[in-house]
Amino acid sequence: MSKPIISIIGLGVTGSSIGLSLRREEGNFDVVGHDKDRRASDLASKAEAVNRTSWNLHKAYADAELVVLAVPLSELPDLLELIRDDLAPNALVVAVAKLMQPVLGLSTDLPHGAQLVAIHPILTGVGGMLAPRADLFDDTPICISTDINTDPSSLKLASDFAERIGGTPLFIDALEHDGIVAGVEQLPQLLAAAQVQTAITAPSWSETERIAGRQFAQSTELGGSAESLFDAFMGNRENLLLRIDQLQNSLSNWREMLEIEQNSAQDEDEGYPLLDVLKEVVQAREEWEIRAELKRWDADESRDEYVSSAGMMQQMFFGNLFKKRVEKRDGDR
């Protein structure tokens, strides 16, 4: 008797990592992969992220009980149109995307009792390069969103899938999810684009680009092509517009604080508003990074573990100057 098939369409970093995660332990299934880029298929096959690949899209998914779509959001409508009529009866289609609402809007197009679930793995690693890895999703929240008509068995399968690749299932309302993503992912991307535009259109850019270094590179990381960013921004436009309005109000407050520092003599007893806010922001950012690295979201527990691992001598003599990143302990897994 043949094994059940899990099909992965799209074998980039995400799709290949899903395959590696699924296959790192023995399972009663075969993973079949497909990518329109033959080089991506060859790399995934060489890395053993799949049991086999199929250059023929139809053969890659036709008998699969679970079909994972790890492709850009803009490609999803056309891809679903291509595969919808040949999906196995009652197949579960898992679309990996950073936005939930545009994905779930496509769910009514599936026949044969097939159902669509949107998932968004939250990669909490800070500062590292992304590459296909079997542990890419370990201990990370995996947001799962469905429409009200989704069968409970499909919800269970989606949850089991999230756990199988190492993550923690987090069921979330699509509207709430997309509103959060607008603030923590898309707004930084839009600001990065605005920074680049401001810099390159300045008359001094030919001199400035020689001085722009690591800080500029980090703050202007766009994370996608122009087409993918456009599709994502427009797909979540209302939420993103709201976040921009909030940021504009916040920037006005920051400008006022900076003007006070420049133009007003402050009594030392009164303090400096800009410095006070910066202290709060720096501390909050450091604490978030600690929790993200440890993948622990209890603030007190995360800080205690971080301070302990940093070492008493380091704390006494070097402060934070030579602070090393915390490595995950074996017992934390």
Mean pLDDT by 10 residues, the chain (333 residues): 88 95 91 95 95 93 94 92 90 95 85 90 70 91 91 93 95 96 96 96 93 92 90 94 96 89 56 88 91 73 46 35 37 45
Type of residue found at 180? I
Q: What is the spatial distance between Cα 261 and Cα 276, in angstroms, rounded to a whole number?
A: 12
Name residues whose C-beta falls within 8 Å of residue 286's C-beta, 6 or more positions apart in sequence. none
The pLDDT value recorded for residue 278 is: 93
C-alpha distances (whole Å) from 296 to each of 280, 291, 299 are: 21, 5, 8
pTM score, two decimals? Answer: 0.81
Q: Please tell me the number of Cα atoms within 13 Å of 290 on its side-chain side.
A: 20
**Phi, psi torsion values for 92, nearest 5 degrees:** -105, 125
Domains identified in the chain and CATH numbers: 5-172 (3.40.50.720), 173-264 (1.10.3660.10), 271-333 (no CATH)
